[in-house]
Amino acid sequence: MGLDKITHANQNGAVYLKAEKSGTNVNFTAKVFSTLPDANLKMILNLKGSQNYTVTNHDFTSTSTNATELSFSRPSSSFAGGSYTYELILETAGSQQLIQTGVGFVN
């Protein structure tokens, strides 16, 4: 399924999330494996805390063999200092929520 680590799983799939500071940037990783092969899905990535930020939205088609991976960086100055939850929401193209999960992050 292409996930060497898992931070959340349910009947709809498995997820690995990671957010970490590196110098003046925040490096974000999100890997999703869906149990719905060949489905049109949407990955919504947020930072939730004293202020909320939508980090990115990504539409993709799931496969039966590999996880979909997003890795990207944003300047840490884009976010106020403090504690956050790096949140992933996985939805179908029809906006049915399949997974909602998060991991801690401090900026």
pLDDT digits (tens, 9 = 90+) for 40-90: 999 999 999 999 999 999 999 999 889 999 999 999 999 999 999 999 999
How far, in Å, CA of 17 to CA of 105, rounded?
11
Assess if CATH 2.60.40.10 describes domain 8-106: yes
Report which DSSP code applies to 43: E
Q: What is the mean pLDDT of residues 3-12?
A: 93
How far, in Å, CA of 75 to CA of 53, rounded?
13
Model confidence at 11: pLDDT above 90: yes
Please identify which residue in the block is written with the tokens 């990504």: 58
Q: What is the mean pLDDT of residues 6-18?
A: 96
